[in-house]
Amino acid sequence: MARLLMAKAATLPDADRDFVTRVLEEMPALSATTAAAKRLVCVLRRQSDEALSDVLDVMAGTSLTGFVAELRKDVAAVQASLDLPWTTSPVERQINRLKMIKRTMYGRAGFHLLRTRVLHAA
């Protein structure tokens, strides 16, 4: 349901588009929540020049109040991620790759075996 609500209407098949339209008409609160969530997505993906604080203020009036409260606890870090050009994506990718290799070894991944697998992985 979340995927359908957050998708762009033009990308959905006709049946799904009709379903989402009907659900949002029947539930105005869900419609407001979905609109606020889409605004946040646009801000986080840098597709909007809207201020993060403005979006969070709008979201606080929806059922996402708890999420907004938790996000505001570290709003400086979120804002910094939007303002600064640095990213940890390459590091995160390598950490996930290492964890995946370790998981495939079913607990036998001692340091030497894991090191050999990582260094000789294609």
Q: Find the angle CA(8)-CA(84)-CA(41) to the nearest 5 degrees.
A: 15
Encode 51-87: b = buried (16+ Cβ within 10 Å), e = exposed: ebeebbebbeebebeeebeebeeeeeebeeeeeeeee
Phi, psi of 113 (to 5 degrees): -65, -40
pLDDT value at residue 33? 96
Using alpha carbons, select from 121, 80, 79 the residue that is nearest to residue 102.
Answer: 121
pLDDT value at residue 56? 96
pLDDT value at residue 122? 54
Model pTM?
0.70
Q: Give tens-digit pLDDT for 41-69.
A: 999 999 999 999 999 999 999 999 999 99
Give me the residues of the chain with pLDDT under 70, please.
109, 121-122
pLDDT value at residue 2? 93
pLDDT value at residue 113? 81
Q: Which residue has the tokens 């986080």?
A: 44
DSSP 13-25: -HHHHHHHHHHHH
